[in-house]
Amino acid sequence: MTERFDFIDVTLRDAHQCLWSTRMTTAQMTPILGAIDRAGYAYINILGGAVFDVCVRYLQENPWDRIGLLCERLATPCDGLTRGQSLYTFELFPDDVVALNSHALARRGMEVLTVYDALNDNRNIVSSVRSGHEAGMKVNAMMVYTLSPVHTDDYYVERVRELVALDVDFISIKDPTGLLTPERGRTLFPAVVKAAGGIPLQMHSHCQSGLAPQVYEVAIESGFRLGYTATQPLANGASLPATEDVLARARRLGVPTSMNDDALAEIAGYFDWICERDDKPRGKIMTCDPALYEHQIPGGMVSNLRYQLETMHLSHRLPEILEEAARVRKDLGYPIVVSPFAQYIVTQATLNVVQGERYKTIPDEIRKYARGYYGRLAAPLSPAFLERANIRDDEYVTAAPAAHLAPWLPRLRAELGASARDEDLLLAAFYDRKLIEPLRDPAPQCRFRTTPLTELVGFLATREDIGYARVRFAGTDVTLAT
Amino acid sequence: MAHDQLTYDDLLRIVELVKSSDRFSEFRLKVGDIEVELRRGSNAPPLPLTPAAPPPREGRPSSPESSPAKPQPAARPVPTWPDDAIVVRSPMVGTFYRAPQPGAPPFVEPGQSVDRDTVVCIIEVMKLMNSIPANARGTVTRILVDDAAAVEAGQPLIVLAPAG
Amino acid sequence: MPPSRRFRRILVANRGEIALRVIRACRELGIEAIQAYSEADRDSLPVALADGAICIGPPPSSQSYLRGSVIIEAARAARADAVHPGYGFLSENAGFAKACQDVGIAFIGPSARAIELMGDKATARRMAAEAGVPVTPGSEGVVADGAAARAAAAAIGYPVLLKAAAGGGGRGMRVVRDAAEIDARFADAAREAHTAFGDGSLYVERFLTRVRHVEIQVLADETRVLHLGERDCSIQRRNQKLVEESPSPALDADLRARMGEAAVRLCRHVHYRNAGTVEFIVDTASGAFHFMEMNTRVQVEHPVSEMVTGIDIVKAQIAIAQGESLPWSQDDVRLEGHALECRINAEDPARDFMPSPGTIERWTLPGGPGIRVDTHVIAGTTVPPFYDSLLAKLLAWGRDRGEALARMRRALVEMRVDGVPTTLPFHRMLLDDARFVAGDVHTRFVETELARTP
């Protein structure tokens, strides 16, 4: 049993990444920051790969400004997630860009850098860990959980050892598809806690199977010190467990926590309202579907896939594609079904199904993966794949993926000028110039406070059909008239 | 559920009420302990005037004989007709009907000639139908009121050109 | 039996004094009343006194109080468990009752089936006959044309009355004195019935003169039917009631019991639930009574029965709709004292009772021992032209008829109304009429004899 259990809020990041396609705006966040600070969270997760992308491509918000605003406004330390050597995208970046990113985050006020590699090839997080520490941040290294014959308890114990050697401040288990079960947890969790020496363990699991809250309970019992959770309306389903739920379990186990129920209720009420006002979905508790353990595709990705198939008029083939995905995964040596490989598996499965012939077309990304370009594979490739892939011996990569990448900063500095800020260099490293232009516009004003009454007045004002409204209760009498 | 502040739960329930009552132009209903009064569109009550003038009543027939001090409702365009025209007026306040029953042909149409006893319309008052005769010989030239419209006592209804 | 369903909220789908009556009953039972109103009733007393209110349309009844679908939507928006339809409007509309049932909203009244059965006058007569209730000699069902009417009349005996099957209120009705006039009268009556009710079907009944209109109030729950005695409504004009009283001066205990039992038998036969009134014609000469029709709703004059029995009929309606059992047996129901009701309408007796909407400037109500006034009117109320002309029901109770009359006389003098003409002068005159005071009246009294006051 752990001595105490702390919470990391994902409401402002992972929750809406799973449920709203990452579309939560800064303006939706700012009025509730005060309550989030009062809730007693140890850390607030405010950044992850998709956030950068969505800010730039869809919301036309400067992601650095959002990071800066949140870190400044939140007294609670903030946590940002990157994909190790891939940072916020699926490409590989050279170490100089990774280091610059760590420093830029720290300068904006980020206090914890959370990193993971999609293949659990920890060579890909070394530069992040080092530069994170250099920049004064704590580092949380995540191992991605998956089910396969090779991803045994021993496999994870070995990974933990690698991370201990890197001197990270936290070690996390990240379960993007909700594959963890309490049974597995009972063997795996004590093993990793033990292997971690004194380094605190964090739990991060999604709720597609409906078992995550129980998994968190087993984690608490096994000695995990922290867990990632979300406010009730944005919890469950493809998102993470509800803070309220895990908190109740911790209390039942008699484990001390620091959470404030009133603040949590205010946060939950606020987001419940935002879902109604802005027509956004709430998380729904799911029951265990055995197929999940087969295809393992993470929550948000299934809905994205469904959407994409609809635009191609192929939505009726979704079940076939998910089945094929399980087979593709095996053929490819059990890459973990998380970005970017989840996308690759899904794309390959779609191609296999639509073309009617397996591996007739193999996208370049997948060839690169197969060659070891992104990192060490967990298991060998299958003959079925190898036959069609025709990879030459000299094409295989065994060195660390970033080892072959030359630094980018000199070129970027040359392009953008010596006076270019680090943040602009990084944006240029990630995105096309066309996408970055609109970000120069000043961000719209955000409100930092709201109340249900304010929201009611706002709501009534948007209803053009209403010419007169009066609301009376207790000592309040509000009249709105056009 | 007595409390001083509106909660998000209250807010959601109020919003649900507002949405589900979409088709009602006005209401006063409670959500728990919270009273919500709403008017949509042109039903919004008029803004308060200076104390001297009584508030105008929009869209309702007024009774001229009982309250002469009230300002008239928004002026209707004043109809005109030749000096020698005969005007059939409503003997009472009520509802004007052009036909004996809905869907039936109207009593009279413009161009039709009428006698003293020809019924030209019905004025309905408190569910009793009153057939109104032309009380003159002539030809119908204009019908001034829409079917099922509210009319006041003395209001011109139908204009006749007198028989030569 | 505890209620199977307790109402938290009732939508009042009517207006005027009956709306206020229902709101009062709800208040006493701790039930919230939500008033559905037309734009013409926005400033009315029921809207002000209800716990909530929802506007269901513009002034004309056809666009508001008669729009069943809108009323049901209003009930849902207001989260009402039940609808009270009052009297008139949709109270006897079987389609509306069924529509409420279909969406799980209780209709405070009988079943749609009972409304349907008893709403058709010809079917109702047949039900009465089946239940062994005497009916006015008449045709079996509707007669298709003048020839069929003539055949029926020959069997019944002249004079006969041609009556509309689909409605009442005196419309679609013609007296026929002999076979020669039956074709013309048939055509007239059929056309008028079609205009009024959309259905020109007629049936034939023996026309009885010098009859009294005596009705029996019934209340029925899941298992039992009770009657609350009679109301004598013989003071009428053009088939509109003006004055009602209980007990009837023309009934003795034996006749009362027989009529009560007949009404109860009829209700059992059609599985009637909730409140209703069975109307009879009583032949003053022979003392025989004949079924006329049944009103499957609460009636305007229900307070008369309330005053002599002490039973709150509207609260009983709500209790029955909630599935409760009535707490009385027939033996518990006793008529105590005597009660009278005068309907004060906005009509000018000097001008043939012409309806006179307008604004009421002065409105002084009577009071004191034994006086009850049911009204929605306050000083300043503008009486709209879109609905009926009833302003107030003035009731008087006394230990005997004499005291009730004295109190009513007093109350009629105390009551002052300025702004619109009312039927007060008529009632004052009636209460002084020797024949009325003697209790010697019949249904044509007002039209034929009162006019010829010596």
The whole model's pTM is what? 0.76
Question: 10 Å Cβ neighbour count for A248?
Answer: 13
pLDDT band at B54 (very low <50, low <70, confident <90, very high): very low
The three-state DSSP-derived secondary structure of C81-143 is: CEEECCCCCCCCCHHHHHHHHHCCCEECCCCHHHHHHHHCHHHHHHHHHHCCCCECCECCCCE
Residue C115 covered by a domain: no
pLDDT band at B62 (very low <50, low <70, confident <90, very high): very low
Query: A: neighbours with 3+ CB pairs under 8 Å?
Result: B
Name the nearest CA neighbour of B6 among C30, C75, A275, A459: A459
Residue C128 covered by a domain: no
The pLDDT assigned to B93 comes to 76
Instruction: Provide CATH 2.40.50.100 ranges for chain B.
Output: 86-162
The pLDDT assigned to B78 comes to 63
DSSP letter assigned to residue C234: E
Residue C271 sits at the chain B interface (C-beta within 8 Å): no
AA letter at A476: T
If 0-12 CB within 10 Å is exposed, 13-18 middle and 19+ buried, where does residue A144 land? buried
Question: Are C68 and C14 members of one domain?
Answer: yes
Question: Average pLDDT, stretch C72-92?
Answer: 95
- On the question of pLDDT at B60 being above 60, the answer is no
Rounded Cα distance, A398 and A392, in Å: 14
Residue C4 covered by a domain: no
Task: Return the residue of B nearest to C193 by Cα.
Answer: B101
Q: What phi and psi values does residue C13 have, to the nearest 5 degrees? A: -100, 55
Task: Return the residue of B nearest to C170 by Cα.
Answer: B128
CATH code of residue C16: 3.40.50.20
pLDDT band at B151 (very low <50, low <70, confident <90, very high): confident
B-chain CB neighbours of A234 within 8 Å are none
CA angle B116, B120, B121 (to 5 degrees): 140
The encoded tokens of residue C76 equal: 């849902």
Across the interface, whether the CB atoms of A470 and B37 are under 8 A apart is answered yes
Domain encompassing residue C164: 137-206
AA letter at A170: F
The encoded tokens of residue C422 equal: 């009312």
Question: Are C295 and C181 members of one domain?
Answer: no
Rounded Cα distance, C130 and C270, in Å: 10
AA letter at B51: P
Structure confidence by residue, pLDDT tens digits, C143-182 = 988 899 999 999 888 889 998 888 766 778 888 998 998 9
Residue C286 covered by a domain: yes
The pLDDT assigned to A302 comes to 79
Structure confidence by residue, pLDDT tens digits, C7-54 = 999 999 999 999 999 999 999 999 999 999 999 999 999 999 999 999
Share of chain B above pLDDT 90, in %: 26
Across the interface, whether the CB atoms of A466 and B40 are under 8 A apart is answered yes
Higher model confidence: residue A360 or residue B124? A360
The three-state DSSP-derived secondary structure of chain A is: CCCCCEEEECHHHHHHHHHCCCCCCHHHHHHHHHHHHHCCCCEEEEECHHHHHHHHHHHCCCHHHHHHHHHHHCCCCEEEEECHHHCCCCCCCCHHHHHHHHHHHHHHCCCEEEEECCCCCHHHHHHHHHHHHHCCCEEEEEEECCCCCCCCHHHHHHHHHHHHHCCCCEEEEEECCCCCCHHHHHHHHHHHHHHCCCCCEEEEECCCCCCHHHHHHHHHHHCCCEEEEECHHHCCCCCCCEHHHHHHHHHHCCCCCCCCHHHHHHHHHHHHHHHHHCCCCCCCCCCCCCCHHHHCCCHHHHHHHHHHHHHCCCHHHHHHHHHHHHHHHHHCCCCCCCCCHHHHHHHHHHHHHHHCCCCCCCCHHHHHHHHCCCCCCCCCCCHHHHHHHCCCHHHCCCCCHHHHCCCCHHHHHHHHCCCCCHHHHHHHHHCCHHHHHHHHCCCCCCCCCCCHHHHHHHHHHHCCCEEEEEEEECCEEEEEEC
Q: How far out from the chain centre does Cα B94 lie?
A: 9
**Which regions in chain A score pLDDT beneath 50?**
none
Rounded Cα distance, B154 and B149, in Å: 14
Question: Average pLDDT, stretch C328-348?
Answer: 96
- On the question of pLDDT at B57 being above 80, the answer is no
CATH code of residue C287: 3.30.470.20
- On the question of pLDDT at C443 being above 80, the answer is yes
The pLDDT assigned to B64 comes to 37
Residue C1 covered by a domain: no
- Name the domain boundary from C71, C89, C108: C108
Rounded Cα distance, C325 and C2, in Å: 8
Question: Are C193 and C232 members of one domain?
Answer: no
Structure confidence by residue, pLDDT tens digits, C47-62 = 999 999 999 999 999 8
The pLDDT assigned to B128 comes to 66
B-chain CB neighbours of C70 within 8 Å are 23
Establish whether the linkage from the previous residue to A340 is cis, with ω within 30° of 0.
yes
The H-or-E segment that residue B18 falls in is: helix B8-20
The pLDDT assigned to B52 comes to 39
Structure confidence by residue, pLDDT tens digits, C405-429 = 999 999 999 999 999 999 999 999 9
Across the interface, whether the CB atoms of A473 and B34 are under 8 A apart is answered yes
Across the interface, whether the CB atoms of B33 and A270 are under 8 A apart is answered no
Domains and CATH numbers, chain A: 6-277 (3.20.20.70), 292-403 (1.10.472.90), 452-481 (no CATH)
Across the interface, whether the CB atoms of B125 and C385 are under 8 A apart is answered yes
Rounded Cα distance, B3 and B104, in Å: 59
Lowest mean pLDDT among A214-223, A464-473, B121-130, C221-230: B121-130
Best mutation target, A266, A270, A456, to test chain B (most B CBs within 10 A): A456
- Angle, helices A243-252 vs A212-222, to 10°: value is 40
- On the question of pLDDT at B61 being above 70, the answer is no
Contact A388, A359 (CB under 8 A): yes
Name the nearest CA neighbour of A391 among A349, A362, A353: A362
Residue C362 covered by a domain: yes
Residue B67 sits at the chain C interface (C-beta within 8 Å): yes
Buried b (16+ CB within 10 A) or exposed e, C332-344: ebebebbbbbbbb
In the residue annotation, C297 being an active-site residue is answered as: yes
Give the gap in angstroms from C-alpha B75 to the nearest C-alpha of chain A: 23
Rounded Cα distance, A265 and A259, in Å: 11
DSSP letter assigned to residue C312: -
The pLDDT assigned to C311 comes to 98
The pLDDT assigned to A300 comes to 67
C-alpha count within 13 angstroms, C-beta hemisphere, residue A80: 32
Question: Are C162 and C221 members of one domain?
Answer: no
Q: Do chains A and B touch (3 or more CB pairs under 8 A)?
A: yes
The encoded tokens of residue A235 equal: 């919890």
Residue C2 covered by a domain: no
Residue C102 covered by a domain: yes
Lowest mean pLDDT among A60-74, A329-343, C113-127, C223-237: A329-343
The pLDDT assigned to B77 comes to 56
The encoded tokens of residue B109 equal: 């149409």
AA letter at C231: R
Lowest mean pLDDT among A105-119, C44-58, C279-293, C361-375: C279-293
Question: Are C193 and C222 members of one domain?
Answer: no
Best mutation target, C12, C44, C54, to test chain B (most B CBs within 10 A): C54
Across the interface, whether the CB atoms of C385 and B28 are under 8 A apart is answered no
Query: B: neighbours with 3+ CB pairs under 8 Å?
Result: A, C
Question: Average pLDDT, stretch B107-123?
Answer: 89
Rounded Cα distance, C305 and C334, in Å: 10
Residue B24 sits at the chain C interface (C-beta within 8 Å): yes
The H-or-E segment that residue C28 falls in is: helix C16-29
Question: Are C352 and C440 members of one domain?
Answer: yes
Looking at the structure of chain C, the number of domains it has is: 3
Task: Report the topology of domain B86-162.
Answer: OB fold (Dihydrolipoamide Acetyltransferase, E2P) (2.40.50)
Name the nearest CA neighbour of C40 among C381, C411, C322, C426: C381
Question: Are C247 and C373 members of one domain?
Answer: yes
AA letter at A266: E
Of the partner residues A268, A463, A468, the one whose CB lies closest to the CB of residue B18:
A463
- Name the domain boundary from C161, C182, C206: C206
Across the interface, whether the CB atoms of A467 and B4 are under 8 A apart is answered no
Share of chain C above pLDDT 90, in %: 77
Rounded Cα distance, A138 and A102, in Å: 11
Rounded Cα distance, C268 and C110, in Å: 12
